[in-house]
Amino acid sequence: MNGNPTLEQVNVGAGLALRAAGQWTVHHAPNLEKIVEDTERLKGAPANIVIDVSQVSSLDTFGAWLIERLRRSLTQGGVEPNVAGLSANYASLVNEVRQVKPGLVHKRQRQTLLGMLDGVGRSVVEVGGTLVGLIGMLGAILNALFRVIRHPTSFRFTSMVHHLEQVCWRAVPIVLLITFLIGCIIAQQGIFHFRKFGADVFVVDMLGVLVLRELGVLLVAIMVAGRSGSAYTAELGSMRMREEVDALRTMGFDPTEVLILPRIVALIIAMPILAFLGAMAALYGGGLVAWGYGGVQPDAFLVRLKEAISINHFTVGMVKAPFMALVIGVVACVEGAAVKGSAESLGQHTTASVVKSIFFVIVMDGLFAIFFATINI
């Protein structure tokens, strides 16, 4: 007898015997899969089925699982096929495989109009919940701020300075590096395309307006959202998990005043500083590229930059910065306060904090652009 696996169907009275033979191992996986699939397609098979494995010369976990799969697929009306002829060596293996519960098969549901409307409705409710949470947190922060204004000694100045160091001072190197490189890229691409029209010098106008008015503060806000916003969410979420926030309430302290307000104030102070430094780094990088790649001398660059921009361009960028910082801080604190008692929840809310912060920052930048265009600034 060769080792090729077989599965013979033999009618025995009113029943059916499936006689397995050969080596039912993973080495014969393709043949075994085809044999079992063909047998599973039996139509109108009798209820009394016996799977005879007495002629199986070798059996491993793969073969045992195929036998168990065949037994389950041929089960009809609660009547299960019997597995006969098991040797003592293989009986324990088949029994172990039988203990594995079949996984739930999720049938793909056809997308209907009602299902689509349900998904849209749930998304709208989720967005509405996010907005309500942001408004609630903003109200709590303003309430804490008014209390601090009435009683200035209650403000956690040391905590604010600590967070200002974390958010501003330690972020300076990465902000300078990224904005410097962005300024270089803008200048190089501008010169490359303007050169076709003999207008290399106009790259200075583009660089000045774009960096001071729009791109500089927006890039810094995105970096702050990814760096400081996620840190705020992780810190507050960890405190929630360790029940430190509840402990503060028990001791009579307002968590918003103790934990959130110093972070928000530090972020609002840090954002204009970082935006200014980032804009200067981008202009410096653009000037170097304009000099080295475009042949625009530094003196000519500065003269053209002075003619191209006005104080309004700088003011627009600086006005945006604190509002973007407020949005980033509020979103980060809302997500941190929503963390439940698991590490998975902490990771989900930290990710949501970064994504939502960047989204709201870009939306706010667009609204500011419309507003300043309306008042001709």
Residue 77 pLDDT greater than 60, yes or no: no
pLDDT value, residue 111: 67
Distances (CA, A) of 134 to 34, 99, 289, 337, 360: 58, 50, 42, 11, 11
Q: What span, in angstroms and rounded, lies between the C-alpha atoms of 296 and 173?
A: 27
pLDDT over 70, % of the chain: 94
- pTM assigned to the model: 0.69
Mean pLDDT, the chain, rounded, equals 87
pLDDT in tens, 183-233: 999 999 999 988 888 888 889 999 999 999 988 999 999 999 999 999 999
- Going by C-alpha positions, the residue among 259, 219, 264 that lies closest to residue 239 is 259
Poorest-pLDDT segment among 69-73, 173-177, 190-194: 69-73
pLDDT in tens, 236-264: 999 988 889 889 889 988 999 999 999 99
Domains with residue ranges and CATH for the chain:
6-98 (3.30.750.24), 138-374 (no CATH)
